[in-house]
Amino acid sequence: MPWSVSLPKFGNAATIFELQQLPEGGMSVNILFATAEAVPFCKTGGLGDVCGSLPLELYKLGHRPVVALPAFRQIYEAGLPIVSTGVHFEIPIGQKRVDCGILESNLPDSAVPVYFVQNDYYFDRPQFYGERGEDYQDNCERFVFYCRAVLELITQLDLETELIHCHDWCAGLLPVYLKTVFNETAPYDQMAALYTIHNLAYQGNFWHWDMALTGIDWKYFNWQQMEFYGNLNFMKTAISFADTISTVSPTYAKEILRPPLSCGMEGALEHRREDLFGIINGADYDQWNPAIDPFIEPNYYDAESFVTGKRACKSAVQQEVGLPVDPEIPLIAAIGRLADQKGFDLISRVMQQWAEGEHAQWVILGTGDSKYHQVLSQLAAKYPHRIAVRLEFSNELAHRIEAGADMFVMPSQYEPCGLNQLYSLKYGTVPIVRATGGLADTVVNATAENLALGRATGFSFSEYTALALGETLFRACELFADKAVWNRIVTTGMKQDWSWNASAQKYSELYEQTLSRARQGALS
231 forms bridges with which residues in the sheet? 228
Q: What is the mean pLDDT of residues 324-328?
A: 96
pLDDT of residue 91: 97
Q: What is the mean pLDDT of residues 175-198?
A: 97
Q: What is the mean pLDDT of residues 301-313?
A: 91
Q: What is the mean pLDDT of residues 406-411?
A: 98
Q: Residues with Cβ < 8 Å from 282, sequence gap 6 or more?
A: 53, 54, 57, 422, 498, 499, 500, 501, 502, 503, 504
Q: What is the pTM of this model?
A: 0.89
Does residue 524 have a pLDDT over 60? no
Does residue 11 have a pLDDT over 70? no
Q: Give all domains of the chain, ordered by start, each with its CATH number.
A: 30-282+502-523 (3.40.50.2000), 303-496 (3.40.50.2000)
pLDDT of residue 356: 84
| DSSP assignment letter at 445 | B
Task: Find the angle CA(177)-CA(237)-CA(225) to the nearest 5 degrees.
Answer: 105
pLDDT tens digits, 457-515: 999 999 999 999 999 999 999 999 999 999 999 999 999 999 999 899 999 999 999 99
pLDDT over 90, % of the chain:
87
Does residue 162 have a pLDDT over 90? yes
Confidence of residue 201 (pLDDT cuts 50, 70, 90): very high
Q: What is the mean pLDDT of residues 91-102?
A: 97
Which is more confidently placed, 320 or 392? Answer: 320
Q: What is the mean pLDDT of residues 308-317?
A: 97
**Residues present in the chain in total:** 524
Q: What is the mean pLDDT of residues 71-96?
A: 96
Order of strands across the sheet with 83-93? 83-93, 96-106, 113-118, 64-70, 30-34, 163-167, 192-197, 244-247, 276-278
Query: How confident is the prediction for the chain on average, in pLDDT?
Result: 92
Does residue 205 have a pLDDT over 50? yes
Evaluated on CA atoms 194, 197, 202, 205, the torsion sign reads positive
Does residue 10 have a pLDDT over 50? no
Q: Give Cα 331 distance to the centre of its chain.
A: 27
pLDDT tens digits, 427-455: 999 999 999 999 999 999 999 999 999 99
| Residue pair 462/434 in contact by the 8 Å Cβ criterion | yes
pLDDT of residue 24: 52
Does residue 358 have a pLDDT over 90? no
pLDDT of residue 15: 34
Residue ranges of alpha helices (H) inside 262-302 are: 266-271
Q: What is the mean pLDDT of residues 127-140?
A: 93
pLDDT tens digits, 361-399: 999 999 989 999 999 999 999 999 999 999 988 889 999
